[in-house]
Amino acid sequence: MTATGPCATPAAVDVVALGESMVTFLPTRPGRLADVPSFDRSIGGAESNVACMLAAAGHSVRWVSRVGDDGFGDHLVETIGSYGVDVTSVRRDPDRPTGVYFRTSGDRATDAHEVAYYRAGSAASAMSPAGIDLPAARAGRVLHLSGITAALSADCLGLLRDLTAPGPGRPLVSFDVNHRSRLWRDDEGAGVLLELARAADLVFVGEDEAEEAWGVTGGPEAVRALLPEPAHLVVKEGARGATLFGGNPGQSPGVFVPALTVDVVATTGAGDAFAAGFLSATLRGLPPRARLRHGHLWAAAALTVPGDLAAPPARDHADRLAALDDTAWGRLRLGPGWTAATERAEEEVRTP
């Protein structure tokens, strides 16, 4: 196993994203996987999605992972690197393959949606404290992780426990719960995710997944009661909006910002885009309300494209929209192509 170009002393970056990325095959037309005759190749991975969007927005970002010493591994490293992400700490595994998956073109929320994962025994499942570039993983202002990694193997779970453990020089740990029940082989997943979330500094969790994983009902305040430890907790409430707890010292109750009206093309990657937008605003030192609004705007960028990845809105465009008063924010409607149509911002604001 060799790295693609490891440094003895890794440079500090804004964000390190650690996790598995896979080659994704998207159908060329709607239908069951059994009926679709051909697929287009793309990439998919919660952490690499965040990395790519942040890098495209001008932040310094490193992706830490493992891929197979194969053509699909080449594709992942080259594609993620093309966004400006530092991929020199990605290790190549000659004995394990790069993970791939196939999915149907329908919305994930429908019963017709199918996903076929081929990731068991993948190179990324062998991530461990000894199996990654650990100094590079810790050399960031923010370390972004997700619950998906914890489900891949015992070694991956051990790595996340190591990275979230208290210690000198630990970066701000951002953790997206990303509960995926089908990835867990037993009933321990919910407890593991709760353990990791309580150890993080910033947590993203959907109200629906908190109910599914932990049985929490009663809204964002009930989630906060279960997770009082993180300094910052973002509870995503679907189409309604999102609530941030702990944006300022002693701040309670949480700050709520309603979601935007969006002409949705596909929902894939929207949660990762929200996290990326929120992290970008956090790195810039913006106040809690603006962080949530940037999360919603970046999610809207992902919702209005067909694939997992979207170009984030230009910073000045997003800042202008995030600064709207509540009435104008509530009237805002965004559709495909809005991130490239900065001159239409005022027209969009007036759209009922």
54-64: b (≥16 Cβ within 10 Å) or e: bbbbebbbbbb
DSSP 3-state of 181 = helix
| Residues assigned a catalytic role | 272
Dihedral Cα 122, 117, 235, 263, nearest 10 deg: 130
The answer to whether the beta carbons of residues 219 and 238 sit under 8 Å apart is no
Token match 């509870």: residue? 235
Q: Dihedral sign, CA of 205, 209, 211, 212?
A: negative
Amino acid at 319: D
Taking the chain, what is the end-to-end CA distance rounded to the nearest angstrom? 56
Which residue type is seen at 340?
Answer: A
- Cβ partners under 8 Å of residue 187, min gap 6: none
Q: Where are the alpha helices (DSSP H) in 5-108?
A: 46-56, 71-82
Distance in angstroms (rounded) separating the CA atoms of residues 100 and 260: 33
* Sequence-ordered alpha helix ranges (H) in the chain: 46-56, 71-82, 134-138, 147-152, 154-164, 189-199, 207-214, 220-226, 270-283, 288-303, 315-322, 326-331, 345-350
Largest CA distance in the chain: 57
Strands (E), 28-104: 39-44, 61-64, 66-68, 91-93, 100-103
